[in-house]
Amino acid sequence: MFGSHLSIAGSMLTALDEAQRLCFDTVQVFTKNQQQWAAKPLDPAMVSDWNARVASLGWGDRMVSHASYLINLATHQDELWRKSIDLMTDEIERCEALGIRYLVHHPGSFVGHTLDTGLARIADAYRELFGRTRGYQTVSCLEDTAGGGSTIGGPFEDLARLRSMIIDKTGEPPRIGYCLDSCHMHAFGHDLSTRDAAEKALDHFHATCGIENLRVVHLNDSKGAVGSRLDRHAHIGEGTIGAPDLAASGFAAIVNHPAIIKIPKILETPKEDRADGVPWDIINRARLVSLQTGADSETLVGEWLATHPVTPSTPKSPKPSKPAKSAVEAKPQAKPATQAKPTKPAKRAKPAPASNARVAKPAKSPSMPAKSPRDSGKRKIDSSRRTKRRD
Ligand SMILES: [Zn+2]
Ligand SMILES: [Zn+2]
């Protein structure tokens, strides 16, 4: 089943609206402004509307949230560690209230210390987190990373060790799983450019972590080469994993792997439209579906277009002010979404040193960011920064 990280700008319900418009079967959201430590409590009326809507969609067992990038459970700095535990507690409580089954987060960064210390800090944090949230259903999913700098989560062996340490401290194996991000895997060095290589990578994951513990997959192509440690997401088929032959790439292995066929697979690609006005989420989804069914992806896109007319995007020249605007605003929700807006981000987002850039920097976007990383108006601008961190 496929989904996308979508914006909650305005209301969390907009993410559900947009997921439906884009024909997804699930969605990933932030449950709060991901760039702020403090969050207002969820509005009970919204929670009630959300839960009713989720029930009608039948998505209760498959929704995903991504935790704030501010959180670093691996830090040896006590103040940051405490704040991270408090914020992570809030993330877990929000997911529980919203019936979101999976909460994805990056393990953290041990900057200035050692891997062993970082892993121990995370495990200690979990003892407290699960102690505060006894009996909750939300499953924490440790996401693999591109492994730059002191970022934890590149090697599968480290993820396996971490989960095992958390289980030792908490005694709750069902509440801790994994999320694999295809861009991160490839950038770290788990080659996904061919089906064979990807199958080997998944076998390696199974041998170390147990594929039955994989609860969520992030499907992103990679701008960086295999082993580059560069965390830059690209549209499916437009990066070093899926180009030039998507059908022969590792994406085909991932979306058809029998053990994970039913778990949520979330796009964290840039939320933008192709020149003909079609949201890239539609194109990316069609390309993934084509790998499962053999259908031609552009035919699938055409079928969507038949019932969802779009306006071709206008050139970005400053002149067409009005037209441009309408084009953009017209589909506000469509793009806002996700996090990953690799594309634009590239420009503004600070390229950061590839290393631990992502973990360490929580995105510096203004206040609203989090929620909808890209809300309509500023979507194009802000998205960039958010994007990067997000995955
Ligand atoms: Zn990423
Ligand atoms: Zn990701």
**Tell me: the pLDDT tens digits for 353-370?**
333 333 333 333 333 333
- Ligand 2 centroid–CA 307 distance in Å is 31
| Whether the predicted pLDDT of 39 surpasses 60 | yes
Distance, CA of 100 to CA of 324 (rounded, Å):
36
**Tell me: the pLDDT tens digits for 272-296?**
999 999 999 999 999 999 999 999 9
| Whether the predicted pLDDT of 349 surpasses 90 | no
Residue 362 belongs to a domain with what CATH number? 3.20.20.150
Find out whether 256 and 204 touch, Cβ atoms under 8 Å: no
pTM above 0.75, yes or no: yes
**Tell me: the pLDDT tens digits for 149-206?**
999 999 999 999 999 999 999 999 999 999 999 999 999 999 999 999 999 999 999 9
Find out whether 168 and 122 touch, Cβ atoms under 8 Å: no
The pair phi, psi for residue 339, each rounded to 5°, is -80, -40
Residue 231 CA: which ligand is closest?
Answer: 1
Q: How high is the pLDDT of residue 113?
A: 95
Residue 270 CA: which ligand is closest?
Answer: 1
- Ligand 1 centroid–CA 187 distance in Å is 9
Find out whether 337 and 390 touch, Cβ atoms under 8 Å: no
| Whether the predicted pLDDT of 342 surpasses 60 | no
Distance, CA of 43 to CA of 367 (rounded, Å):
19
- Ligand 2 centroid–CA 251 distance in Å is 15
The sign of the CA dihedral 227, 228, 233, 237 is: negative
* Nearest of 289, 358, 336 to residue 143 by alpha carbon: 358
- Ligand 2 centroid–CA 220 distance in Å is 8
What is the mean predicted confidence (pLDDT) over 49-63? Answer: 97
- Ligand 1 centroid–CA 344 distance in Å is 14
- Ligand 1 centroid–CA 84 distance in Å is 20
Lowest-confidence segment of 138-147, 310-319, 378-387 by average pLDDT: 378-387
Residue 184 CA: which ligand is closest?
Answer: 1
- Ligand 2 centroid–CA 388 distance in Å is 10
**Tell me: the pLDDT tens digits for 90-104?**
999 999 999 999 999
Distance, CA of 285 to CA of 282 (rounded, Å):
5
Q: What band does 318 get if pLDDT is binned at 50, 70 and 90?
A: low
Dihedral of the alpha carbons of 217, 219, 220, 226, in degrees to the nearest 10: 70
Domain of residue 70, residue span: 2-390
How, if at all, do strands 221-222 and 233-234 pair? antiparallel
**Tell me: the pLDDT tens digits for 127-157?**
999 999 999 999 999 999 999 999 999 999 9
Q: How many domains does the chain have?
A: 1
| Whether the predicted pLDDT of 335 surpasses 50 | no
Distance, CA of 274 to CA of 285 (rounded, Å):
14
Find out whether 342 and 270 touch, Cβ atoms under 8 Å: yes
Q: What band does 313 get if pLDDT is binned at 50, 70 and 90?
A: confident
